[in-house]
Chains A and B, each alone.
Chain A
Amino acid sequence: MLHDAWLIARKDLKLEIRSRVALNQVVPFALLVLVLFAFALDPDRGLLEKATPGLYWIAVLFSGLLAMQRSFAVEAADGVTDALRLSGLVPAGIYLGKTLSVAVQLLVLEMLLGVGVAVLYGTSITGWLLLLATIVVATAAISTAGTLFGVVAAGLRVRETLLPLLLLPVLAPVLIGATRAFEAALSGTPSEGWPWVGLMSVFAAVYVVAGIFGFGPLMEES
């Protein structure tokens, strides 16, 4: 299973590196969102710095959605889905591989956005340990749930509109948790943030299990 996961993750990441869609489109979009927030909230009033955790995670969610949609769009063309099914790879392995590749892309995106908010919003960064822990578990939560709902929406004519509707309400707890944990870290009270890291870990665990068992039935049809 893990070997299959590794194969799929390597394939997807290689595709991303070669096609440069993530680099040429998703990353600029994420930075664009940061700039749009600055237009919406007057930068001179200190609102941006105060709202940094929330804005950061909203930017991650929206640009991450693009990465997740792409993760299944690359399979849609030329009957690749059928080829994957015939490849003999374990569905759970395919799921984990896709999750891993989405997670890696999200991590890169989050690093860039982190630099973005530090530079553009002038947010001073404290509480490194909590910040990193939050990023790791939130990324795990977003990519495990995103990959599962991605395959639910995959191959449908309405997939572009269906995925956000399915995924964003489900990820609401992650948005709340990651935002609060970031707030705790940046305001110098990290003890308030750790319960949220725990909650997001539970979320990610639930979705890993659901994905491992649910991916098989979902891949059979369509």
Chain B
Amino acid sequence: MTTETAGPFGASDSGPTSTGSRTTMILGIVTLVALGVLVLFGLILSPADENQGDAVRIMYVHVPSATLSYVGCFLTAIGSAVFLWRKSRWWDLVAYASAEVAALFTAFTLVTGMLWGRPTWGVFWVWDARLTSEAMLMLLLLGYLAVRGIAADYGVRAKRAAIVGLLLVPNVFIVRQSVQWWRTLHQTPTLSLSGAEIQGLMLFSLFTGFIAITLSFIWMVIHRFRVAWLEEQVDAEGLDTAIAERRAEGVVL
């Protein structure tokens, strides 16, 4: 078993044995504090926008989570590439964990975007280039996660998922390019999401948003990775136990 669970640093890299560690706990506390600071600046200290009013506050979580949805997608592609190259289970699960968290952040971005769109544009959805690309990213990630969910051997599933994961990045680039042309060649130019210049306390709140949301992203990916790793261990252990039981039956007879 130990050779099969070899990480990027060889067979000695045995991986986590629980869902959390002291480091992740500290990271979790820091994340909570950062989220508290974000609430303080985003909802209380920062001023309302002249044009958008209080709705502008959605920006402090919307923009960072949109950025991180793309970061997660890149991380998945990197994890998939290293898995294909080194056959490292560790990196495969990094790809899996970041894809799942990226899908969550994409969904969060879409929901907050719609909630922001309603008061500012009057509608939940417009066929803006950025909205459409984000929706397409969501669908691409759901496709990747569907491959992760197939009932097949670990090797089959991981390899197929890695190919799909690796292609996420070129796909996202091509989709973004095509959607941008699509909306600019024939229609009015895209709507500006952030509008006028952001300054002072609003800029600082957005900065806090980036820190808090990035920390939450890292925390979630680490925990999702550890859970995925433990799941693999349980599966492998279950198989070992079953084999041992069958062998024991043979001995009794």
Contacts and interface: CB of A to CB of B under 8 A. Distances in A.
Contact of A180 (B84, B155, B177, B186): B186
Contacts of A195: 181
Interface stretch (B24-32, B91-99, B146-154, B195-203): B146-154
A88 interface: no
B140 A169 contact: yes
B174 A152 contact: no
Interface stretch (B2-10, B65-73, B156-164): B156-164
A156 B170 contact: no
Interface in B158-180: 159-160, 163-164, 166-167, 170-171, 174-175, 177-179
B143 A166 contact: yes
B146 A196 contact: no
Interface in B21-49: none
Contact of A173 (B151, B159, B167, B177): B177
A217 B159 contact: yes
Nearest to B143: A166
A217 B151 CA distance: 19
A176 B187 CA distance: 14
B159 A170 contact: no
A180 B182 contact: yes
Contacts of A166: 143, 146-147, 164
Contacts of B163: 148, 152, 210, 214, 217-218
Interface in A150-176: 152, 156-158, 162, 165-166, 169-170, 172-173, 176
A222 B156 contact: yes
Nearest to A203: B174
Nearest to A217: B159
A172 B160 contact: no
A222 B151 CA distance: 12
A221 B151 CA distance: 15
Q: Which of A148, A162, A166 has the most CB of B within 10 A?
A: A166
Interface of A is mostly: helix
Q: Which of A169, A202, A206, A218 has the most CB of B within 10 A?
A: A169
B185 interface: yes
A195 B178 CA distance: 10
22 contacts: A158-B146, A158-B150, A162-B146, A166-B143, A166-B146, A169-B171, A170-B140, A170-B171, A176-B182, A192-B185, A196-B181, A199-B174, A199-B178, A199-B181, A203-B174, A206-B170, A217-B84, A217-B159, A218-B163, A220-B159, A221-B155, A222-B156
Given A166-B146, A173-B178, A199-B181, 19 more contacts: A156-B150, A158-B150, A158-B151, A166-B164, A169-B140, A169-B171, A172-B178, A176-B179, A176-B182, A199-B178, A206-B170, A210-B163, A210-B167, A214-B166, A217-B159, A218-B163, A220-B159, A221-B156, A221-B159
Interface of B: 84, 136, 139-140, 142-143, 146-147, 150-153, 155-156, 159-160, 163-164, 166-167, 170-171, 174-175, 177-179, 181-182, 185-186
